[in-house]
Amino acid sequence: MNIGEASRASGVSAKMLRYYEEIGLIPKAGRTGAGYRVYSAADVHTLRFIRRARDLGLPIERIKLLVGLWHDRQRPSREVKRIAEQHVAELDAKIAELTAMRNSLQELADACHGDHRPECPILEAFEGGGHGGHGAAPAGQGAAGAMPDGHAGHGAGHAEHGGVATSQAEPSRLTQPAPAARGRSGHAHHH
């Protein structure tokens, strides 16, 4: 089957299919006399395997390991389990980090009167003044999800979400002053 048919049958875009071939995740496709790629049913089966692993958030490096283990009929299942458990632990850490972000923001929202007054603990916390006055510093700051430097983890999804991650990665700054070394673009103030 051609690349379009393989894409439809596997649920993997033609662009990703070419990328997976380029990085060696799948074998180089056969070619027709005219140079068009030709994929087998086994290739489509592997692409479906890859798609399912990507749907669960596994990174390419681990998928390469899993594809290798899947094709190795003498594989020890403990290796597969180790890879899965490592990914589960990372997902748990991301969930804890996101929960801490959400809780910090919810506590700030709860502290804001949301009325005609200009004072707002949310804006004060974003500005870096969240420790003083108005009770803007939520109870439990620095608890689960915060790293020793006061930053909530490594910033879930910096590159994965194309620039949006910067705002997601900095929620600990809501209630904790940012170290001078952080120097991210989020420091622009509009008064």
Range of the domain at 131: 90-182
When mean pLDDT is compared across 79-88, 122-131, 155-164, the lowest value belongs to: 155-164
Q: Do 15 and 50 meet the contact criterion of CB atoms below 8 Å apart?
A: no
pLDDT mean across residues, the chain: 77
Question: What DSSP letter does each residue of the chain carry, written as one string?
Answer: --HHHHHHHHT--HHHHHHHHHTTSSPPPEE-TTS-EE--HHHHHHHHHHHHHHHTT--HHHHHHHHHHHH-TT--HHHHHHHHHHHHHHHHHHHHHHHHHHHHHHHHHHH---SS-S--HHHHHHHT-TTSSTT-S-TTTTSTT--TTS--TT-TTTTTTTTTHHHHH-GGGGTSPPPTTT--GGG----
**Per-residue confidence (pLDDT) for residue 162, from 0 to 100:** 35
44/139: higher pLDDT: 44
Q: Are residues 94 and 149 in the same domain?
A: yes
Q: Are residues 94 and 67 in the same domain?
A: no
Query: Percent of the chain having pLDDT more than 70?
Result: 67
Q: How many angstroms from the chain centroid is the CA of residue 153?
A: 12
- Cα angle at 83 between 79 and 84, to 5 degrees? 115
| Residue where a domain stops, chosen among 41, 71, 101 | 71
**Per-residue confidence (pLDDT) for residue 101, from 0 to 100:** 96
Q: Do 39 and 1 meet the contact criterion of CB atoms below 8 Å apart?
A: yes
Q: Are residues 138 and 104 in the same domain?
A: yes
Q: Are residues 49 and 95 in the same domain?
A: no
Q: Are residues 103 and 152 in the same domain?
A: yes
pLDDT for 146 beyond 60: no
Q: Are residues 107 and 174 in the same domain?
A: yes
187/25: higher pLDDT: 25
When mean pLDDT is compared across 39-53, 75-89, 143-157, the lowest value belongs to: 143-157
> What is the count of structural domains for the chain?
2
For 53-107, the pLDDT digits (tens) are: 999 999 999 999 999 999 999 999 999 999 999 999 999 999 999 999 999 999 9
Sequence-ordered list of residues with C-beta below 8 angstroms from that of 24, at least 6 positions apart, any chain: 64
**Per-residue confidence (pLDDT) for residue 128, from 0 to 100:** 85
pLDDT for 117 beyond 50: yes
Alpha-carbon distance of 171 to 134, in angstroms, equals 19
**Per-residue confidence (pLDDT) for residue 129, from 0 to 100:** 54
Q: What is the CA radius of gyration of the chain?
A: 23
174/68: higher pLDDT: 68
Nearest to 111 by CA among 101, 125, 94: 125
Average pLDDT for residues 105-134, to the nearest whole number? 83
Q: How far apart are the first and last CA of the chain?
A: 60
CATH number of the domain encompassing residue 56: 1.10.1660.10
When mean pLDDT is compared across 64-73, 119-128, 132-141, 161-170, the lowest value belongs to: 161-170
**Per-residue confidence (pLDDT) for residue 157, from 0 to 100:** 38
Instruction: Kindly state the tokens that stand for 78.
Output: 């403990």
